[in-house]
Amino acid sequence: MVEPARHGDADDHILACDSCRVQIAGADLDPHHWRCLNDSMWTPVPAVQVTAWRLLNRLATAGEAWANDQLEMLYLEEEVEAWARAGQAGADDDDLVHRDSNGAVLAAGDTVTLIKDLPVKGAGFTAKRGTAVRNISLSPSNEKHIEGRVNGQQIVILTEFVKKSV
C-alpha cells in the first residue's frame, strides 16, 4: 500500500518485486534498478505516480541527474502531488529540500550559476551574473540558503538567485 492511504482500496496499492519493496521502504537505492521509472512515471494510476515521484526525489537528492531531469518533466495533479508529499520519507521539517530559481533540486557538490549581480555584504565586491559557483554546500537550517566560493570568498547565497548548471 502507498502510505498514507487515500481510499483504502486497490487504487492505493502497487505491485512490486522484493528488491523494489526493500528499496521503497528506505534501503539504499540502486539507481540502475530504477531506470524503469522513465516509462512507469507516465502511467495514469495515481499510486504508481506517487511512488515514482517519491523515488525520483530520493534519487535526485542522491545526485542522480537523470532522476532530476525526469522530475522536471513529471506532471502530477494537485491532489496526487499532495499525496506524494504527505507520505514522503522524512517529510517532516528536518528534511529540507533546496531548490534553485527554476525549481530544480540542489544537492551538495552541485555547480550553480548566478542569475543576477549580487553585492556581497562585508566583502566589498559584487558577484557578477553568470558566475559559476562550484561544489556548493547546503544550509542544514534554511532551504533558501546555499554556501559557495566566489572570488575565493566563502559566501551564503539565496537559492532564488541561482540556477543549477548541467
Cis peptide before 140 (omega within 30 of 0): no
8 pLDDT more than 70? no
The pLDDT tens digits for 95-143 are 678 999 998 999 989 999 999 999 998 888 999 999 999 999 998 888 9
Give the residue extent of every domain in the chain. 10-86, 112-164
E-strand ranges in the chain read: 112-114, 118-120, 125-127, 132-133, 137-138, 145-150, 153-158, 162-164
The pLDDT tens digits for 54-67 are 999 999 888 888 99
Q: Which residues contact 65 (CB under 8 A, 6 or more apart)?
A: 166
Higher-pLDDT residue of 93, 100: 100
User: CATH number of the domain at 112-164, please?
Assistant: 2.30.30.40
Residue 161: per-residue pLDDT: 96
Residue 93: per-residue pLDDT: 46
As beta bridge partners, residue 2 has: none
Model pTM score: 0.53
Residue 130: per-residue pLDDT: 96
Mean pLDDT throughout 74-80? 89
Residue 123: per-residue pLDDT: 85
CA dihedral (99, 101, 103, 106) in degrees, to 10, reads -30
Q: Compute the residue count for the chain.
A: 166
How far are the Cα atoms of 23, 44, 47, 130 from residue 40, in angstroms, in the given order? Answer: 17, 9, 11, 37
Is residue 56 within 8 Å of residue 29, measured between CB atoms? no
Mean pLDDT throughout 27-53? 90
How open is the CA angle 164-97-148, to the nearest 5 degrees?
Answer: 50
For residue 126, give the C-alpha cell. 559584487
